[in-house]
Amino acid sequence: MSEQPKVEGPMIRMRGIRKAYSMGRVEVEALRGIDLDIGGNDYVAVVGPSGSGKSTLMNIIGCLDTPTSGEYVLSGEKVAGLDRNRLAEIRNRHVGFVFQNFNLLPYASALENVELPLLFAGVGTRERKERAEEMLRRVDLADRMDHKPTELSGGQMQRVAIARALVNRPAIILADEPTGNLDSASGQGIVGLFRELHGAGQTIVMITHDQAVARLAERIVQIRDGQIVEDRQAAA
């Protein structure tokens, strides 16, 4: 696994992205021509009502799904016509996911959860452990490494998930409603952590319908009916 090269130009470049689902005989267009550039060290909030296509957009940005048409370049790599294994490799190297419901493996410890992306990348045992521990320290969970998710609070679980997203040094962090399942105090902690990461140079794309959370981003992209209707700098 090679270290990822420093990319000039936008981290994410989308041109005319369309995504159509066939629901029986009916074709539903979830995305209808998205043009979007996200640069290195951007902190973008994607907002929109449910059914607007923001989840579909997130799936495509995260390479969990591929567009029906259009061009998508992530971190200098064209994401089109790739097989499952190649897509898995791109996700592993370039994308760190943070989910609303944390999605930690319940039977594995915090440390093991953070080790997972490294395991899939084929990193050796010792290095894996060191890097995972370092990440957990960074999210202030040095004393919770051997705890199972059930022994952690929501905020702690989300921080484990963030450590897991960061551990492979991804080009972007892709967060889907990261504060949606948290009480406001924990939510603020997570938002603070994102800001800190952004301050350290991390590109972050966050999907949220929480205006308060969105306002903390640098840039807000508004989606409606599968199209970008507004793209503005947040009033800081």
Partner 1 sequence: MSTLVSRAEVAMVWRLFRADAAHNRKRIALTVLAIAWGTLSIVMLLSFGEGMKRAFHRTVRGMGEGIGVLWPGATTRAWAGLNSGRQIQFTDEDMELLKARIPELGAISREYSRRVPVSLGAKSVNARVRGVDPSFGPMRNLIPSAGGRFIDEADLSEKRRVVFLGDELAKDLFGIGDPIGRTVQINQSTFLVVGVMQAKVMMGMYSGPDKGQATIPATTFKSMYTDARPGNMVYAPVSMEAGDKVKVEIYRVLGRKYRFDQEDRRALGIWDTRENQRITENIALGIQIFLGIIGALTLFVGGMGVANIMYAVVKERTREIGVKMALGAKVRQVMAPFVMEALMMTVMGGVLGTAVSLGLMAVIAVLPLKGEAFEFLGRPTFSPAIALSTSVVLGTIGMLAGYFPARRAASVNPAVSLRYE
Q: Is 88 in the site for partner 1 (CB under 8 A)?
A: yes
Residue 84 in the binding site for partner 1 (CB under 8 A): yes
Please say whether the beta carbons of 20 and 27 come within 8 A. yes
Candidates 30, 45, 61, 116; binder of partner 1 (CB under 8 A) is 116
| Residue 20 touches partner 1, criterion: CB under 8 A | no
Work out whether 120 is an interface residue with partner 1 (CB under 8 A).
yes
E strands present in the chain: 12-23, 26-38, 43-47, 69-74, 77-78, 95-98, 172-176, 203-207, 219-224, 227-233
- Least distance CB 65 / partner 1 (angstroms): 4
**203-207 and 26-38 beta bridge pairing:** unpaired
Nearest alpha-carbon partner for 170 in 11, 9, 8: 11
Site for partner 1 in 42-61 (CB under 8 A): 55, 59
Torsion sign across C-alpha atoms 101, 84, 90, 107: positive
Query: What is the spatial order of strands in the sheet that 69-74 belongs to?
Result: 26-38, 12-23, 69-74, 77-78
Place of tokens 């892709």: 174
Q: What sign for the dihedral angle of Cα 32, 79, 197, 174?
A: positive
Instruction: Confirm if 223 and 229 have CB atoms less than 8 A apart.
Output: yes
CA–CA distance from 179 to each of 9, 45, 124, 204 (Å)? 30, 13, 33, 14
Tell me which of 105, 142, 212, 229 binds partner 1, using CB under 8 A.
105
Residue 97 interacts with partner 1 (CB under 8 A)?
yes
Determine which residue in the list 48, 53, 117, 187 makes contact with partner 1, applying CB under 8 A.
Answer: 117
- Which of 119, 142, 212, 229 forms a contact with partner 1 (CB under 8 A)? 119
H helix and E strand count, the chain: 7, 10
Binding region for partner 1 (CB under 8 A) out of 82-90, 189-197, 205-213, 220-228:
82-90
168 belongs to the binding site for partner 1 (CB under 8 A)? yes
Which stretch in 113-121, 181-189, 206-214, 224-232 sits in contact with partner 1 by CB under 8 A? 113-121
For partner 1, the binding residue among 75, 92, 186, 222 (CB under 8 A) is 92
Q: Contact between 7 and partner 1 (CB under 8 A)?
A: no
Contacts to partner 1 by CB under 8 A: 1, 55, 59, 62, 64-65, 84-85, 88-89, 91-93, 95, 97, 99, 103, 105-108, 112, 115-117, 119-122, 125, 128, 164, 168
